[in-house]
Amino acid sequence: MADTRTRYDVIVCGGGLSGLTAALACAYAGLEVAVVDALDPAARVAVTFDGRASAVAYANYRMLVRLGVAARLGDDVQRIETILVTDGRAPDGLRRGGPGPAWLRFDADEVADREEGEPLGYMVENRRMRAALLAAAADAEHLDHIAPVAVTAVSFAPGAASVSLADGRALEAALVVGAEGRQSVVRRAMAVREVGWDYPQTGIVATTWSPEPHGGVAHEYFLPSGPFAILPLTGNRASLVWTERAAAAGAAMALDADDFRAEVRRRFGDFLGEVDVEGPRWSHPLGLRVAESFIAPRAVLVGDAARRVHPIAGQGFNLGLKDAAALADVLAEARHVGLDAGGLDVLERYQTWRRFDSLAMAAATDVFNRLYSNDLAPVRFARDVAMAAVNKIPFARRAFARDAGADFGDLPRLLRPL
């Protein structure tokens, strides 16, 4: 890091997954970038920091290859070869829950236009992803990583944006990127409001181990309390994302290790044998939030600072990756023709590119969560019939698979086939 440097093309506020990716993508495009993180990088990769894992769509993973992140992940990546979705059975008394009788099945081999050998996606534990991003950032040209230091204020002027740091420094750039998540300082400085609501649900996250191999299959059950996802990790492990009603989630989090394992097994089913729970568990309140605007003069939002969606489709991080790729494209083109990177005429293209996709994903996850988070018999019957019907239509399965792989629409250069 150049401690004395104060002027950049782009300053990214927030050093999480989306912030580091946006910084790397902009540096890859030849821009001079600083990423400012309030947290110590060592804390971000600690086992106790965050037990979540991310499903990275195959098109988005192409960007991680180009940015040098995938090479640093090594053997910590699990391929997703198949996705199975079912209207699951809830546990009842002594009866276990598990997959239901109606299925939707998506296989990588059905997606004809993907690169040869690409799966539907890749599963990576978030702490492993952070470590790879930090390593790539340390080696990247045109990128300074400033941490740990908090951003205390952001202000905008006709010629530049100014970022004040807690250690007394002031940085300037043509553009400031807000990537600090739901409590974004940049979004507040932009005077942009959020619209949305909280769900009466909590996401419980844990890592499980099973005696039987998972075969790279991702499972999603729709239970009355919300989706129950079993996402394959390396080895015979899986990332469990259990959506539960808020009141019941508190009781589940309070269980001792043996009782929590028993509750997981009641919902999991027995197709992988007697599963065990590895390590700690985490819980996160769920909600839907979308910024009214993703841009302002000299400012732009990416990742959870721009929107937060229900984890029902595992698309939160994928939306942030597409933000990073689109922003890098827009800024590279502006630089090529000599336009001001912080000008609204440049940033409008980014907003047009990303806002519709964000609103569509927010609406889709909200509708699916409301439709499937109940156990009304007529609704369940209609869901099962629709699921079984779609499963018999090859082109419909292929379309869903390409959506899951983020391989649709006008793709930024970093997401196109390698």
Q: pLDDT by residue for the chain (418 residues), tens digit each?
A: 446 789 999 999 999 999 999 999 999 999 999 999 999 999 999 988 888 999 999 999 999 999 999 999 999 999 999 999 988 777 776 567 777 777 888 888 887 667 888 999 999 999 999 999 999 999 999 999 999 999 999 999 999 999 999 999 999 999 999 999 999 999 999 999 999 999 999 999 999 999 999 999 999 988 888 899 999 999 999 999 999 999 999 999 999 999 999 999 989 888 899 999 999 999 999 999 999 999 999 999 999 999 999 998 788 999 999 999 999 999 999 999 999 999 999 999 999 999 999 999 999 999 988 888 877 878 878 888 888 888 888 888 888 788 878 888 889 999 999 8
CB 327 within 8 A of CB 177: yes
Burial 357-377 (b: 16+ CB within 10 A, else e): bbeebbebbbeebeebbeeee
* Angstrom distance (rounded) from CA 205 to CA 200: 17
The verdict on pTM exceeding 0.85 is yes
Tokens standing for residue 163: 């970022």
d(CA 25, CA 328): 6
State which amino acid sits at residue 251.
A
Pairwise CA distance, residues 201 & 214, whole Å: 27
Per-residue model confidence (pLDDT) at position 336:
94
Give the pLDDT confidence score for residue 284 in this predicted structure.
95
Helix (H) or strand (E) holding 62: helix 58-66
CA end-to-end span of the chain, whole Å? 31
C-alpha torsion sign, points 128, 131, 133, 139:
negative
Taking 3-state DSSP, the helix, strand and coil percentages for the chain, each rounded to the nearest 5, stand at: 40, 30, 30
